[in-house]
Amino acid sequence: MQKKQGPKNQIVSFVSLGCFKNTVDSEVLAGMLKQRGMDIVSEYENPDWLIINTCGFIRDAKEESIGEILSALEKKEKGEIKKLVVFGCLIQRYRQELKRTFKNVDILWGVNDMEELADAVAQGRQAEYADKNLFLYNDQHPRLSFTTPGSTFIKISEGCNMTCSFCSIPMIRGPYRSRPIASILKEAEHLKKQGIEELNLISQNSTYFGKDRGRRSQLPDLLKEISGIGFRWLRVLYLMPEEISTEILDAFSKPSVLPYFDLPFQHVSARILKKMGRGGSYKKNLLLVQQIRKLFPKAVLRCTFIVGFPGEEEADFSQLLDFSKESAIERIGVFGFSAEENTPSCKLPLQKKPQTIVIRKDRLLDISDQNLQKYNQGLIGQTMEFLPLAPWANGSTIGRISSQAPEVDGHCQVKTEFAERFKMYPIEISGSEKEMLLGAKK
């Protein structure tokens, strides 16, 4: 007698857009669905459900998210996917408008009530987003990995209490709320047992960690505790420069904590920074850079700037160019100002023409390229730790060194294949081609 087979598990695919904070959200939702008996597969493998995690931060990100939704709706119409979920920042921000626009999306969901979303998908039903409970995952939530083996992220907080005039994050993600240190440590210990070599701590404002619970930042306490777990690389992302204290800087001397400083200065003109709702100035920001370099001679800085902010005159922009040259920041990210609805800067007078923003962006990126080339040249002949990620052309391997954060800082190509990927090896840097470093195994 033939044995009767049980019902086949529902298959789910994910597309995660935007920052690595979104990636963590997608991993947590995937873990919830797996716990509920669903099978998670790679993108577009004829899934029963396709889930798109959107970004709604600036215009380019919103356009990318909408393009992905339209593409998915075409696949649904062709029968390549059965049901479509769209969630995340874009929906949190524009749910009512998108509900009218994308009537064939089965579920539109924001960034909260994630357990309810997982229940609806697992039960194969439509659901209405209530937006009742602010969500922040913890070590008890199941989580799958969407990042390359050997490297991952922990989100240490959610939301933001800053009042930057250009930013929509507080209205999307809500007030700042930190995870308990004990919860973060449990998650980190679990990841270490899985073989993670590089742990990236991420937050909208990591310097503010714990200040929602008290008067001082608890980032130094977190780094002291987590540095004892034994990761090879421990990286902290998004440090608001106005809030960096001596205690926070001292914490970067703990074992395994990389002297990698991610500082979103956004500008250096005091006049423009005031309009942005930010602190700092040319002098203050330069003093911070100099202080970091004095304490950590091998420090690498990644700084982001916004060009074309309303009222930014040529003199203001010239300060930005001069600062970038004088500070010799190794990695500069440049954003053209995006006028975001319901933010104070959207209504400011003297909005810049798009062509002016493009020109200024290109001019600052030229200095960025010069700084990076000089930094890369200084690495030639040095022995560095190398994290292999994947095979590359002609028997070589692609990976990263410690001064290259995932996805934003380029890669390193080594002329050999490694028997064991995702474990670190010493290499010697031999050259560079733009953002690609070149090296040989020692």
CATH of 383-441, one of 3.40.50.300, 2.40.50.140, 2.102.10.10, 2.60.40.1120: 2.40.50.140
pLDDT of residue 353: 96
The predicted structure's pLDDT at residue 5: 44
Tokens of 314: 């040529």
* 3-state DSSP percent of the chain in helix, strand and coil, to 5: 40, 20, 40
pLDDT score at 283? 98
Give pLDDT, residue 7: 53
pLDDT at 45: 67
CATH level 2 (architecture), domain 151-378: Alpha-Beta Horseshoe (3.80)
Give the separation between CA 88 and CA 119, rounded to whole angstroms. 17
Under 8 Å between Cβ of 278 and 251: no
CA atoms of 70 and 56, how far apart (whole Å)? 16
Q: Cβ(386)–Cβ(371) under 8 Å?
A: no
Torsion of CA 214, 217, 219, 224, to 10 degrees: -80
Q: What class is the 11-122 domain? A: alpha beta
Question: What's the pLDDT score for residue 43?
Answer: 66
Residue 252: the pLDDT is 98
Cα 89-91-92 angle, rounded to 5 deg = 60
Domain locations in the chain as residue ranges: 11-122, 151-378, 383-441
Mean pLDDT by 10 residues, the chain (442 residues): 55 94 97 96 81 93 96 94 96 95 96 97 95 96 92 97 95 97 98 96 97 95 97 97 97 97 98 97 98 98 98 98 98 96 93 96 97 97 94 88 95 87 89 93 90
| Model pTM score | 0.94
